[in-house]
Amino acid sequence: MRKTMIATTLLFAALAAVTALGKDEAGPADADIATPRGVALKATVNRPANPNGAAVVLAPGQGYHRELPLLKRGAEALADSGFTAVRFDWAYFTAKGEPSEELANEVADLDAAVAFARKQPGVTKVLVAGKSLGSVAVIRWGAKHKDDTAGFALLTPPMSDPDDPTSIDPRVTGFEKLGDSALLVVGDNDPLCDLQILYRAMQMTGSRQRVVIVPGDHGFVEGAKDSPETLENVDLVVRNLVVWAKRRIAK
């Protein structure tokens, strides 16, 4: 009887250990990412149960933080597909400040997030995606890292110049240099990315990058922010992001 009780106790202990290990290895976990200027980025790492050896870094928009639907759902779906997903908030956002001049600090923040992703267990490839202001940071960071990054995705890039909506926003200069395998996802009613401006920018640069048009505005909102249509739009973006990421690491 005593031997049976001991064996049962050991079995439950082993099962508990396995369960605890699984919780540590898979699922979301908060993290602080150190930066060279001594500021820590608040981040969440979504770890996959069945890792594929790749990580995706998700850079947020100016006010679009890491817990909002596109970044959160995107990270969860990527992890379900085997990717380690790192989503973070800009240091200025956490400090309730403003973006830096020419986005110098934000590009440095993105560099720190990518370095963090590269150090995650089993990661050998990294892809980088950015939402709005995050896409501008991706363009500037990617100019120097095209050869060591598996792919770039620009989500709602601000193509329309806010000072002259009929012109191309100078902040996206060089987007075509990320390569033809880069992914652009925009809303069909986005005031910051008029489709005619987008097409003109691609024609002027000779870009053959992959473009996905999804219903909605700059946040893929259609009607109310939490409407079924908006959630469907976000899911469309997420599905395209996951498919693109899977095909990029298969190259």
- DSSP one-letter string for 24-40: HHSEEEEEEEE-TTSPE
100 confidence band (pLDDT: 50, 70, 90): very high
* pLDDT score of 17 more than 50: no
* pLDDT score of 20 more than 60: no
pLDDT score recorded for residue 165: 83
pTM: 0.89
Q: Which helix (H) or strand (E) holds 125?
A: strand 125-131
pLDDT score recorded for residue 98: 97
CA 217-221-222 angle, to 5 degrees, is: 95
* pLDDT score of 171 more than 70: yes
Backbone Cα Rg of the chain: 20
* pLDDT score of 2 more than 80: no
